[in-house]
A = this chain, B = another copy of it.
Amino acid sequence: MPKTEHWQWYAEEFAPTERHEHAVEELLAAGRSQFQQYAVLRTPVFGKMLVLDGDTQSSQGDERIYHESLVHPAMAAADALSEVLILGGGEGATLREALRHPGVARCTMVDIDGEVVELCKRHLPEWGAGAWDDPRARVIIGDALRFLREDHDRYDVIISDLTEPLPDSPSWPLFNGAVFRDIKARLSEGGVYVLQASTAAFHNMALHVKMARTLRNYFTYVRSYFAYVPAFDTAWAFLACSDAVDVQALSGERIARHVAELRGENFYYDEETHRRLFALPLYLRRALAEKGEVFS
Protein backbone atom coordinates (compact mmCIF):
# COMPACT_ATOMS: atom_id res chain seq x y z
CA MET A 1 0.00 0.00 0.00
CA PRO A 2 1.36 3.42 -0.85
CA LYS A 3 2.21 5.61 2.10
CA THR A 4 -0.31 8.14 3.28
CA GLU A 5 1.49 11.28 4.35
CA HIS A 6 -1.29 12.37 6.68
CA TRP A 7 -2.93 9.38 8.33
CA GLN A 8 -4.17 10.89 11.57
CA TRP A 9 -7.08 13.32 11.54
CA TYR A 10 -9.14 15.26 14.04
CA ALA A 11 -12.73 15.70 12.86
CA GLU A 12 -15.01 18.33 14.35
CA GLU A 13 -18.68 18.37 13.40
CA PHE A 14 -20.75 21.51 13.86
CA ALA A 15 -23.71 19.60 12.43
CA PRO A 16 -24.12 15.92 11.57
CA THR A 17 -23.79 16.97 7.94
CA GLU A 18 -20.65 19.09 8.31
CA ARG A 19 -17.23 17.64 9.15
CA HIS A 20 -14.08 19.66 9.43
CA GLU A 21 -11.00 17.44 9.41
CA HIS A 22 -7.56 18.60 10.49
CA ALA A 23 -4.51 16.44 9.81
CA VAL A 24 -2.74 15.78 13.10
CA GLU A 25 1.05 16.00 13.12
CA GLU A 26 1.37 14.82 16.69
CA LEU A 27 -0.98 13.82 19.48
CA LEU A 28 0.75 15.10 22.60
CA ALA A 29 -1.77 13.83 25.11
CA ALA A 30 -5.18 12.21 25.18
CA GLY A 31 -7.32 10.74 27.91
CA ARG A 32 -10.32 11.24 30.12
CA SER A 33 -10.41 13.29 33.29
CA GLN A 34 -13.13 12.99 35.92
CA PHE A 35 -15.19 15.49 33.93
CA GLN A 36 -14.34 15.28 30.26
CA GLN A 37 -12.41 13.66 27.44
CA TYR A 38 -9.29 15.66 26.52
CA ALA A 39 -6.62 15.79 23.86
CA VAL A 40 -3.70 18.02 22.99
CA LEU A 41 -2.65 17.70 19.39
CA ARG A 42 -0.64 19.61 16.80
CA THR A 43 -1.78 20.47 13.27
CA PRO A 44 0.26 22.06 10.48
CA VAL A 45 -2.02 25.10 10.11
CA PHE A 46 -3.09 25.83 13.70
CA GLY A 47 -0.18 24.53 15.77
CA LYS A 48 -1.09 22.97 19.10
CA MET A 49 -4.80 22.62 19.86
CA LEU A 50 -6.72 21.71 23.00
CA VAL A 51 -9.77 19.52 22.36
CA LEU A 52 -12.33 18.77 25.09
CA ASP A 53 -15.14 16.30 24.41
CA GLY A 54 -14.40 16.57 20.71
CA ASP A 55 -14.64 20.40 20.60
CA THR A 56 -11.75 22.71 19.84
CA GLN A 57 -11.08 24.91 22.88
CA SER A 58 -8.22 26.94 21.48
CA SER A 59 -5.29 26.78 19.07
CA GLN A 60 -1.80 28.15 19.24
CA GLY A 61 -2.34 30.03 15.99
CA ASP A 62 -5.29 32.13 17.05
CA GLU A 63 -5.99 31.71 20.78
CA ARG A 64 -5.06 35.38 21.23
CA ILE A 65 -8.03 36.39 19.08
CA TYR A 66 -10.34 34.57 21.46
CA HIS A 67 -8.66 35.46 24.75
CA GLU A 68 -7.94 39.13 24.02
CA SER A 69 -11.57 39.50 22.92
CA LEU A 70 -12.86 37.81 26.04
CA VAL A 71 -10.76 39.74 28.54
CA HIS A 72 -9.85 43.23 27.38
CA PRO A 73 -13.13 44.93 26.45
CA ALA A 74 -14.44 44.22 29.97
CA MET A 75 -11.19 45.20 31.66
CA ALA A 76 -10.93 48.41 29.65
CA ALA A 77 -14.48 49.30 30.67
CA ALA A 78 -14.60 48.38 34.35
CA ASP A 79 -14.27 51.16 36.93
CA ALA A 80 -11.54 49.25 38.72
CA LEU A 81 -9.32 46.25 38.00
CA SER A 82 -7.98 45.28 41.35
CA GLU A 83 -9.94 42.05 41.77
CA VAL A 84 -10.62 39.81 38.78
CA LEU A 85 -12.54 36.53 38.90
CA ILE A 86 -12.37 33.88 36.17
CA LEU A 87 -14.90 31.06 36.07
CA GLY A 88 -13.39 28.14 34.14
CA GLY A 89 -10.49 29.14 31.91
CA GLY A 90 -8.44 26.00 32.46
CA GLU A 91 -5.96 26.68 29.64
CA GLY A 92 -4.48 29.61 31.60
CA ALA A 93 -4.65 32.11 28.76
CA THR A 94 -7.52 34.06 30.30
CA LEU A 95 -5.47 34.31 33.49
CA ARG A 96 -2.46 35.40 31.42
CA GLU A 97 -4.42 38.18 29.71
CA ALA A 98 -5.88 39.48 33.01
CA LEU A 99 -2.48 39.52 34.71
CA ARG A 100 -0.91 41.47 31.86
CA HIS A 101 -2.45 44.55 33.48
CA PRO A 102 -0.42 45.88 36.43
CA GLY A 103 -3.60 47.21 38.09
CA VAL A 104 -4.75 43.69 38.90
CA ALA A 105 -3.97 42.97 42.54
CA ARG A 106 -5.41 39.47 42.56
CA CYS A 107 -6.84 37.23 39.87
CA THR A 108 -8.90 34.33 41.17
CA MET A 109 -9.58 31.46 38.80
CA VAL A 110 -12.01 28.65 39.68
CA ASP A 111 -11.93 25.62 37.42
CA ILE A 112 -13.45 22.28 38.25
CA ASP A 113 -11.04 20.12 36.27
CA GLY A 114 -7.62 20.02 37.94
CA GLU A 115 -6.43 17.34 35.56
CA VAL A 116 -7.04 19.55 32.53
CA VAL A 117 -5.34 22.47 34.31
CA GLU A 118 -2.23 20.32 34.84
CA LEU A 119 -2.41 19.12 31.24
CA CYS A 120 -2.36 22.71 30.00
CA LYS A 121 0.49 23.72 32.30
CA ARG A 122 2.55 20.87 30.89
CA HIS A 123 1.64 20.81 27.21
CA LEU A 124 0.44 24.35 26.53
CA PRO A 125 2.94 26.51 28.45
CA GLU A 126 2.57 29.24 25.79
CA TRP A 127 -1.05 29.72 26.89
CA GLY A 128 -0.19 30.47 30.56
CA ALA A 129 3.11 32.15 29.65
CA GLY A 130 4.17 32.35 33.26
CA ALA A 131 0.81 33.44 34.67
CA TRP A 132 0.50 30.28 36.75
CA ASP A 133 3.51 31.43 38.79
CA ASP A 134 2.43 35.05 39.15
CA PRO A 135 1.96 35.73 42.88
CA ARG A 136 -1.27 37.59 42.08
CA ALA A 137 -2.81 34.38 40.67
CA ARG A 138 -5.13 32.44 42.99
CA VAL A 139 -6.09 29.17 41.25
CA ILE A 140 -8.87 27.19 42.90
CA ILE A 141 -9.74 23.70 41.63
CA GLY A 142 -13.41 23.44 42.44
CA ASP A 143 -17.00 24.02 41.47
CA ALA A 144 -17.59 27.59 40.24
CA LEU A 145 -21.24 27.44 41.29
CA ARG A 146 -20.39 26.58 44.86
CA PHE A 147 -17.61 29.18 44.91
CA LEU A 148 -20.04 31.89 43.84
CA ARG A 149 -22.42 30.87 46.61
CA GLU A 150 -19.87 30.58 49.40
CA ASP A 151 -17.42 33.34 48.57
CA HIS A 152 -18.04 36.80 50.03
CA ASP A 153 -15.54 38.95 48.11
CA ARG A 154 -16.39 41.48 45.43
CA TYR A 155 -14.80 41.50 41.99
CA ASP A 156 -14.31 44.36 39.55
CA VAL A 157 -14.35 42.05 36.54
CA ILE A 158 -15.91 38.60 36.38
CA ILE A 159 -15.00 36.57 33.30
CA SER A 160 -16.90 33.41 32.48
CA ASP A 161 -14.83 31.14 30.25
CA LEU A 162 -17.08 28.09 30.57
CA THR A 163 -18.32 25.71 27.92
CA GLU A 164 -21.77 26.29 26.45
CA PRO A 165 -24.95 25.78 28.50
CA LEU A 166 -26.19 22.79 26.51
CA PRO A 167 -28.62 20.54 28.40
CA ASP A 168 -26.12 17.72 28.88
CA SER A 169 -23.05 19.82 29.63
CA PRO A 170 -21.39 20.57 33.00
CA SER A 171 -22.10 24.27 32.28
CA TRP A 172 -25.87 23.79 32.18
CA PRO A 173 -26.37 24.42 35.96
CA LEU A 174 -24.29 27.60 35.61
CA PHE A 175 -26.71 29.40 33.34
CA ASN A 176 -29.85 30.45 35.15
CA GLY A 177 -31.28 33.27 37.20
CA ALA A 178 -29.98 32.05 40.55
CA VAL A 179 -26.44 32.06 39.21
CA PHE A 180 -26.81 35.49 37.60
CA ARG A 181 -28.00 36.85 40.93
CA ASP A 182 -24.96 35.28 42.62
CA ILE A 183 -22.69 36.87 40.03
CA LYS A 184 -24.30 40.29 40.49
CA ALA A 185 -23.82 39.91 44.25
CA ARG A 186 -20.11 39.31 43.73
CA LEU A 187 -19.67 42.18 41.22
CA SER A 188 -18.33 45.53 42.51
CA GLU A 189 -20.22 48.68 41.73
CA GLY A 190 -18.89 49.75 38.36
CA GLY A 191 -17.93 46.16 37.64
CA VAL A 192 -18.35 44.22 34.39
CA TYR A 193 -19.33 40.61 33.86
CA VAL A 194 -18.27 39.10 30.53
CA LEU A 195 -18.89 35.63 29.21
CA GLN A 196 -18.11 33.58 26.15
CA ALA A 197 -21.53 33.15 24.64
CA SER A 198 -21.71 30.61 21.82
CA THR A 199 -21.67 31.41 18.11
CA ALA A 200 -23.05 34.21 15.98
CA ALA A 201 -23.01 33.03 12.37
CA PHE A 202 -26.27 33.13 10.40
CA HIS A 203 -26.90 29.42 10.89
CA ASN A 204 -25.91 28.97 14.53
CA MET A 205 -26.85 32.13 16.44
CA ALA A 206 -29.97 30.86 18.25
CA LEU A 207 -28.23 29.91 21.50
CA HIS A 208 -26.34 33.20 21.65
CA VAL A 209 -29.52 35.18 21.10
CA LYS A 210 -31.27 33.27 23.87
CA MET A 211 -28.34 33.89 26.22
CA ALA A 212 -28.38 37.63 25.44
CA ARG A 213 -32.14 37.82 25.86
CA THR A 214 -31.89 36.12 29.24
CA LEU A 215 -29.15 38.35 30.59
CA ARG A 216 -31.06 41.52 29.66
CA ASN A 217 -33.42 40.59 32.48
CA TYR A 218 -30.56 40.88 34.97
CA PHE A 219 -28.26 43.67 33.77
CA THR A 220 -28.80 47.22 32.52
CA TYR A 221 -26.28 46.91 29.71
CA VAL A 222 -25.92 43.62 27.84
CA ARG A 223 -23.70 43.90 24.75
CA SER A 224 -23.16 41.17 22.18
CA TYR A 225 -19.91 41.10 20.27
CA PHE A 226 -18.05 38.50 18.26
CA ALA A 227 -14.79 37.64 16.55
CA TYR A 228 -14.11 35.21 13.74
CA VAL A 229 -11.81 32.55 15.22
CA PRO A 230 -10.47 30.29 12.43
CA ALA A 231 -9.75 27.30 14.70
CA PHE A 232 -13.40 27.37 15.81
CA ASP A 233 -14.46 27.56 12.19
CA THR A 234 -17.07 30.14 13.04
CA ALA A 235 -17.91 33.54 14.53
CA TRP A 236 -17.45 33.32 18.28
CA ALA A 237 -19.66 35.52 20.45
CA PHE A 238 -19.38 37.13 23.85
CA LEU A 239 -21.67 39.12 26.13
CA ALA A 240 -20.47 42.06 28.20
CA CYS A 241 -22.91 42.81 31.04
CA SER A 242 -22.95 45.63 33.56
CA ASP A 243 -25.31 47.86 35.48
CA ALA A 244 -22.85 50.71 35.28
CA VAL A 245 -20.93 50.66 32.04
CA ASP A 246 -21.85 50.29 28.36
CA VAL A 247 -18.84 48.40 27.06
CA GLN A 248 -19.88 48.91 23.44
CA ALA A 249 -19.71 52.72 23.83
CA LEU A 250 -16.24 52.80 25.34
CA SER A 251 -14.18 55.78 24.18
CA GLY A 252 -11.17 55.26 22.00
CA GLU A 253 -9.00 57.01 24.55
CA ARG A 254 -9.97 54.61 27.29
CA ILE A 255 -9.27 51.58 25.13
CA ALA A 256 -5.94 52.98 23.97
CA ARG A 257 -4.92 53.72 27.56
CA HIS A 258 -5.85 50.22 28.70
CA VAL A 259 -3.92 48.58 25.89
CA ALA A 260 -0.90 50.82 26.54
CA GLU A 261 -0.84 49.76 30.18
CA LEU A 262 -0.66 46.06 29.35
CA ARG A 263 2.63 44.20 29.62
CA GLY A 264 3.71 43.09 26.12
CA GLU A 265 1.98 43.59 22.81
CA ASN A 266 -1.48 42.65 21.66
CA PHE A 267 -2.05 40.53 18.59
CA TYR A 268 -5.70 41.31 17.97
CA TYR A 269 -7.32 43.87 20.25
CA ASP A 270 -7.05 47.64 20.21
CA GLU A 271 -9.35 50.57 19.63
CA GLU A 272 -10.12 49.74 16.00
CA THR A 273 -10.62 46.05 16.75
CA HIS A 274 -13.03 47.06 19.55
CA ARG A 275 -15.12 48.92 16.97
CA ARG A 276 -15.15 45.80 14.80
CA LEU A 277 -16.10 43.48 17.64
CA PHE A 278 -19.11 45.54 18.72
CA ALA A 279 -20.39 46.65 15.30
CA LEU A 280 -22.83 43.84 14.60
CA PRO A 281 -24.13 42.78 11.19
CA LEU A 282 -27.73 43.64 10.41
CA TYR A 283 -28.97 40.01 10.53
CA LEU A 284 -27.63 39.55 14.04
CA ARG A 285 -29.08 42.81 15.35
CA ARG A 286 -32.45 41.80 13.93
CA ALA A 287 -32.25 38.41 15.67
CA LEU A 288 -31.22 40.03 18.96
CA ALA A 289 -34.23 42.36 18.76
CA GLU A 290 -36.74 39.54 18.43
CA LYS A 291 -38.77 38.33 21.38
CA GLY A 292 -38.42 34.70 22.36
CA GLU A 293 -37.43 32.11 24.92
CA VAL A 294 -35.12 32.77 27.85
CA PHE A 295 -33.22 30.50 30.24
CA SER A 296 -35.23 30.20 33.44
Q: Which residues of chain A (109-157) have a CB below 8 Å from chain B?
A: none
> Can you name the residue of chain B whose Cβ is closest to the Cβ of A64?
B283
CA distance A23 to B54 in the complex (A): 12
Q: Which residues of chain A (267-296) have a CB below 8 Å from chain B?
A: 267-270, 272-273, 275-276, 279-283, 285
> Can you name the residue of chain B whose Cβ is closest to the Cβ of A202?
B62
Residues in B with CB closer than 8 Å to A11 are: 4, 6-9
* A4/B9 in contact, CB under 8 A: no
Interface string of A34-66 (1 = CB under 8 A from B): 000001000111100001011110000110010
Looking at A84-92, A98-106, A229-237, the stretch in contact with chain B turns out to be A229-237
Which of B12, B16, B235 contacts A228, CB < 8 Å? B235
Interface string of A208-238 (1 = CB under 8 A from B): 0000000000000000000110101111000
Residues in B with CB closer than 8 Å to A164 are: 1
Please give the count of copies of this chain that the complex contains. Answer: 4
* B17/A23 in contact, CB under 8 A: yes
Q: Flag whether A5 is at the interface (Cβ < 8 A).
A: yes
> Can you name the residue of chain B whose Cβ is closest to the Cβ of A15?
B45
* A4/B12 in contact, CB under 8 A: yes
Q: For A27, A228, A233, A272, which residue has the most chain B Cβ atoms within 10 angstroms?
A: A228
Q: Flag whether A258 is at the interface (Cβ < 8 A).
A: no
* B21/A19 in contact, CB under 8 A: yes
CA distance A24 to B51 in the complex (A): 15
- What size tier do the contact residues of chain A reach? 35 or more
Q: For A4, A12, A13, A276, which residue has the most chain B Cβ atoms within 10 angstroms?
A: A4
Q: Flag whether A82 is at the interface (Cβ < 8 A).
A: no
The verdict on A281 contacting B276 (CB below 8 Å), with A1-B199, A9-B21, A203-B45 known, is yes
Residues in B with CB closer than 8 Å to A55 are: 1, 3-4
CA distance A62 to B19 in the complex (A): 19
Residues in B with CB closer than 8 Å to A5 are: 54
Q: For A13, A22, A51, A268, which residue has the most chain B Cβ atoms within 10 angstroms?
A: A13
Residues in B with CB closer than 8 Å to A253 are: none
* A2/B13 in contact, CB under 8 A: yes
Residues in B with CB closer than 8 Å to A61 are: 202-203
Q: Flag whether A260 is at the interface (Cβ < 8 A).
A: no
A15-B45, A17-B43 known; 13 new pairs, CB 8 Å cut-off, are A1-B14, A1-B234, A2-B13, A7-B12, A8-B24, A8-B27, A9-B19, A15-B44, A18-B20, A19-B21, A228-B235, A275-B279, A279-B279
- When A and B form their complex, which 10 residue pairs have the shortest distance between CB atoms, in order from nearest? A17-B23, A7-B54, A276-B279, A4-B54, A228-B228, A275-B279, A19-B21, A4-B13, A17-B44, A9-B9
